Chains A and B, each alone.
Chain A
């Protein structure tokens, strides 16, 4: 069965600092990969997705993620964090085209120090 691991439960960064959130998946083939963000008391919003092609994908709010097949990773990055980025971030994986199932990691909570 596929699985998603987000090793960091909670990360704290200073405003203006760079950010990297880690995500590793376990699956034999190349899955479809997603990053979602959840602000407090809100639903999940899609930040970016990777299906195929260029392994560096750009998303909304200045986020990007890089797919590394050799490391089974899909880490999320942002060069300069803003206080409004404080939220919980979820990495998710689906098996492929037409698959219904989206497997989520347990999330990483980001706190931003002014």
Chain B
């Protein structure tokens, strides 16, 4: 049981380039999330998904896109990288039901630098 996995661990992009951050979970969780973490700012929600085929915006979605074609995978796409997207990105998943407390499990993160 690998939990939540993310690739790559590190990446340097040039301004205007695009890339996809990969996220997968093997816990059969229905909810998945993407966060970004900037120094001193905690975690901000970018996008989330409540199940395959369903996604929605979080607090800071501009400049990003997501898709969820399967329960396991939730890739995050950066189309035109900008220096403001330099951050550490975390994927998380949870099994949220009417009686659960939405405990989220986090991946190890991807450190992205845009130059």
**A: which residues have CB within 8 A of B?**
9, 32, 34, 36, 42-46, 49, 51, 90, 94, 97-102, 104-107
Contact = CB atoms under 8 A, between A and B. Distances in A.
Interface string B72-98: 000000000000000000101000111
11 contacts: A32-B102, A36-B106, A43-B108, A44-B106, A90-B43, A97-B99, A98-B102, A99-B96, A100-B33, A100-B50, A101-B45
Contacts, number: 62
B48 A98 contact: no
Given A43-B90, A100-B96, A90 B106 contact: no
Contacts of A107: 40, 42
B61 interface: no
B101 interface: yes
Query: Chain B interface: which size bin?
Result: 20 to 34
A43 B106 contact: yes
A106 B103 contact: no
A107 B39 CA distance: 10
Interface of B: 4, 31, 33, 40-43, 45, 48, 50, 58, 90, 92, 96-109
A44 B90 contact: yes
Nearest to B48: A100
A106 B100 contact: no
A97 B108 contact: no
A60 to B, nearest CB: 13
